[in-house]
Structure 1
Amino acid sequence: MKQLIYTALILLLTTNFEVFSQDFKMSAEIRPRSEFRNGFKKLRTDSSTPAFFTEQRSRLNLDYSSDKVIMRLSLQDVRMWGETDQIYKSDPAMTTISEAWAQYNFTSKFGLKVGRQIISYDNQRFLGGLEWAQQGRRHDAALFIFDDKAKKFKIHAGLAYNQNGVEPKKVEGNVYLGTNNYKAMQYLWAHKDWEGGAVSGLVFNESYQYGSTTDSVSQRQTLGVVGSKKFGILKVAGEGYYQTGQRGTADVNAYLLDLNFTAKTKLTPITLGYQILSGGDPASGEVTNFTPAYGTNHKFNGFMDYFYVGNPHNDAIGNNVGLQDIYLNTQFKIGKGTLKAQLHQFLAATDVVKSVSSDGVQEIVDGNLGTEIDLVYVNKLSPVATLMVGYSQMFGTSSMEVLKGGDSGLINNWAFVMLTFKPTLFKTKSAN
């Protein structure tokens, strides 16, 4: 990987860009983020000690475009400050290719995009780039694009087929193990804008390898609709998803619903909303808890990542209790910056089992899980530099202790400071 990066840089720095008859741009991103974690993702205990660290993302982006071809190569390094010696030869940091894709436009409306790419739609609830995480989320996929700008209508059809690493002598078999990826996926997304409103529809199929034989593959489908409409100063938005198919050998029957209202006032916009993600039902024998599998989940259900961000929220019998989230969002101008505020009231979407007696009687506790407050200040320092400062606090309940352990009576909070630098290093533009 390092040799590839060095070779690309040498070629770029020794190229006479006057020979380019197309558009080319080189840009960069440096994004260090320092975090104080004191009850992040789970409630702390008396013996817990806070964590403090700085993680940095560095990217070098190369973009090329012509009438027919668009290409992007993004080289990325993610590292924790101090994880290597000041003088070292080996590097445990994650230096990778973030994006490597090319798009060919057959016409002004139709194109094909192939390679490692971000797949992100609408509010990123189900499909998102996960750019809050320093590494982001990427798919190796082919994407057919239809975009009629005059009619404000788009259709995307994507597909992928994943396989384990380089194996030149492989002549048979397609078992895909050892990763958290889907084995294959296909989807269709359509979007329409009109005056004061928009609507999108998604049909997404994913194949998962759950055993070591070729035929041990399950198929899960997610169907979704996302829409919004303005009525004067009021904007109404909502989304609904339904999951069906199979996960392993179990049938899937799960849903997500969200409805919110945003009113523009003289001082600030105010959003009030309700979201529910279905929980598990062990007695049914089905998978009834909804999974927002590929979204930017940090964006939803509180910034302290208690739910759907790589960590379970299961009760004493191992059941995912789903989630209800009543939320209030607003933002204020403060000087040259903006203060964003969110309030979340969390409740379980199904029974929370605290314990099971020797004779099988379950102790059910209250479904109120707690309240979270999120504050984020954003200040664009210059055209290429942005400062973001955040503070969050979770006021958990004894029912949250059942799901997350820890002590809800202790202070559980999280804070961060993030600087983002995104300059354009240089660019060329054709004379045509």
Structure 2
Amino acid sequence: MKKSALLLTALSLTGAGPTLADAFTDAVTAGKASGNFRLRFEDVSQDNAAKDASALTLRTHLGYETGTLSGFSAKIELEDTRIVAGQGDYTVGPTGYNPGEFSVIADPEHTELDQGYVQYKAKGVTAKLGRQVVTYDGHRFIGHVGWRQDRQTYDALRLDYAPMKDVSLSYTYIDQRNRIFAEQADLDSKDHLLNASINTPVGKVVVYSYLLEVDNGTDNALDTTGVSLSGKQALGDVKVLYTLEYAKQDAEQGTVERDADYSLVELGVAAAGITAKAGVETLGSDDGLYGFSTPLATLHKWNGWADLFLATPGVGLVDSYVSVSGKLLGGAWSVTHHSFDADEDSPTLDKLGDELNVSYVRKFGKHYSAGLKYADYNAKDFAVDTEKLWFWLGLSF
């Protein structure tokens, strides 16, 4: 009997082998290739000693995502940026490219693994392990900085769970931040990201806690906990839009501990194809010595496209803004005005300037796009007058 059982088991495994191998081969070959090419010209002029900068760069993404086998799949994506036609008169400090000579354009030449992960999905659970894009809630605290040619990714484990309709829970552990300056500025870390959301009749409520720490042997914890509500309500043909958010941050800098608050109040209306918004975003200060920090955010999206406030000043930042956007000639346009002030002013820092942002983006067919964007920052007590202009062409499949 034992010999018969062993023989039957061996025969069944022999039969299953090719089946499993075939399923694996099918999953790998039934995947999807993808590509994205962005040719972009950027021009920067600043009222300081640095020379005006200009760059013409081509960013290439090439990727492949497998099919699914028993809930498992995998993705690999390579990223490359090259200077085109010798148009590389700009500075990228962290990589040592033309240090101190030109204004900064943060697009170094590079080739690297952008994403490479294994994913598992089943019964409301998604687990993803490896180098990956991680974003939460509009990129204000955790983003991929996709505006830059070398976008930000993370070596991480991410777990998402949807226990019921309209409820989602997420946890991410990051042990390396792959930043936008090729490999020269990547950081080892011990970051824990917790995010929970629920859709309610009045909008989406999100509760989050982002516990960040650079793994460099020093005390440098940066803990941010907050809650937000965003939604819209219809009043006839008009939609009323609203966002409310508050967060508290505790920062440990060696033996010094700091804390600061964050708040956002935004109201808007959408009617007849036009959307208008007004808001006040406050990145608070701790006695003028520390400003609320968001080191993993897609910072270009917030506080003006001229990128003068990538690091919050010690006096904090109050960004009062109005924006109008809509559709025109098959594309999308937007105009935004920012007025910047200190949260806790000092004798030398109070009015931090104002900025105008204008953009127009259009898709052509299924695969092509083009865009034009302009930023004009007028300095007061902070930084210097800055103008930036971008034009780009894109191809994706």
With normalisation by structure 1, the TM-score equals 0.74
Offset, 1:372 = 0.8
1:282-321, aligned counterparts within 5 Å? Answer: 288-308=290-310, 312=311, 320-321=314-315
Secondary structure at the aligned position of 1:386 is classed as strand
**Is 1:95 aligned with 2:104?**
no
**Is 1:35 aligned with 2:14?**
no
Asked if the contact 1:122/1:226 (under 8 Å) is kept, the reply is no
The 1-side partners of 2:263 and 2:63 are apart by 37
Offset, 1:95 = 0.7
Offset, 1:112 = 1.9
**Is 1:26 aligned with 2:56?**
no
Q: Which amino acid aligns with 2:131?
A: R
The 1-side partners of 2:86 and 2:112 are apart by 17
The 1-side partners of 2:224 and 2:156 are apart by 18
Match of 1:281 among 284, 287, 291: 287
Partner of 1:376: 359
Partner of 2:141: 126
The 2-side partners of 1:269 and 1:365 are apart by 37
1:65-214, aligned counterparts within 5 Å? Answer: 65-66=67-68, 67-82=70-85, 93-105=109-121, 107-148=122-163, 151-162=165-176, 181-195=187-201, 197-209=203-215, 211=217
Cα deviation, 1:366-385, whole Å, max 9, x if unaligned, reads 61222211110011112111
Secondary structure at the aligned position of 1:298 is classed as helix
The 1-side partners of 2:363 and 2:378 are apart by 31
Asked if the contact 1:185/1:207 (under 8 Å) is kept, the reply is yes
Offset, 1:113 = 1.0
Q: Which amino acid aligns with 1:294?
A: L
The alignment covers a number of residue pairs equal to 345
Cα deviation, 1:137-158, whole Å, max 9, x if unaligned, reads 111111122124x512111111
Asked if the contact 1:301/1:307 (under 8 Å) is kept, the reply is yes
1:265-414, aligned counterparts within 5 Å? Answer: 265-281=271-287, 288-308=290-310, 312=311, 320-352=314-346, 364-365=347-348, 367-397=350-380, 399-400=381-382, 404=383, 406=384, 408=385, 412-414=386-388
Offset, 1:84 = 11
Supply the RMSD in Å over aligned alpha carbons. 2.7
The 2-side partners of 1:79 and 1:190 are apart by 39
Offset, 1:281 = 2.6
The 1-side partners of 2:273 and 2:159 are apart by 43
48-57 or 331-340, which moves further after superposition?
48-57
The structure whose RCO (Cα within 8 Å, separation 6+) is larger is 1
Asked if the contact 2:54/2:87 (under 8 Å) is kept, the reply is no
The 1-side partners of 2:55 and 2:220 are apart by 40
Uncovered stretches (5+) of structure 1, i.e. residues with no partner: 1-15, 86-91, 164-177, 315-319, 353-363, 424-432
The 2-side partners of 1:302 and 1:340 are apart by 13
Query: Matched residues, percent identical?
Result: 21
The 1-side partners of 2:352 and 2:279 are apart by 18
Match of 1:220 among 213, 219, 222: 222
Uncovered stretches (5+) of structure 2, i.e. residues with no partner: 1-21, 89-107, 178-183
Q: Structure 1 segments of 4 or more deviating over 4 A? A: 16-19, 82-85
Secondary structure at the aligned position of 2:187 is classed as coil
Asked if the contact 2:292/2:312 (under 8 Å) is kept, the reply is no
Q: Which amino acid aligns with 1:415?
A: L
